[in-house]
Amino acid sequence: MYYGEIKKVDIANGEGVRVSLFVSGCTHCCKNCFNEETWDFKFGKPFTAETEDEIMEYLRPDYIRGLSLLGGEPFEPANQRVLLPFLRRIRRELPEKDVWCYTGYTLDKELMGESRAQCEATDEMISLIDVLVDGEYVDELRNISLKFRGSSNQRIIDVKESLKQNKIVLYLD
């Protein structure tokens, strides 16, 4: 997996002060995507063990609330296979940190149903995420007043509650 950027201090992509990882590779190709260069799976730098260690160090300070995964597309199967062991490590070493993930896939219809995103890592990866911002960016539904998302079709989902209740539970409306 490659990544385009790591933001050590980010307040735009989830609640609180966060570390954000922008992975490379996306097949959604949304019109007027804010991060089009990350569609290329080889954009940026390789995600290595050293990169993972670096992010873990960025996450350690008390003022950092958690990690946000963006893209590109974290739920592209090739990216899931790399991100899953990393998320396991975060849960093991920093269980107090939360994880937000942005995806163009919908949780109920595509990630938990039939789609090109499905692979052996999908279910466990979902279980390790606290908040999922789902749905493709739709330029015609762009709304700059929305919190933590770009278009009105996108949802901010409480993943743990959604899995527990077996229905979509919104984190923020």
DSSP for 129-162, written as a single string: -SEEEES---GGGB-TTSSS-SBTT-EEEEHHHH
CA distances, 34 to each of 29, 67, 142, 157 (Å): 11, 20, 12, 22
Least confident of 33-37, 73-77, 144-148, 154-158: 33-37
Distance CA 133, CA 143 (A): 15
The parent domain of residue 44 ranges over: 2-172
d(C-alpha 56, C-alpha 121), whole Å: 21
Mean pLDDT for all residues in the chain: 94
Q: Is the dihedral of CA 115, 116, 118, 122 positive or negative?
A: negative
User: What tens digit of pLDDT does each residue of 6-59 get?
Assistant: 999 999 999 999 999 999 998 887 777 778 788 899 999 999 999 999 999 999
SS3 assignment, position 69: strand
Q: How confident is the model at residue 173 (pLDDT cuts 50, 70, 90)?
A: low
Domain count, the chain: 1
Instruction: Tell me the C-alpha distance between 47 and 168, whole Å.
Output: 32
pTM above 0.75, yes or no: yes
CATH code for position 106:
3.20.20.70
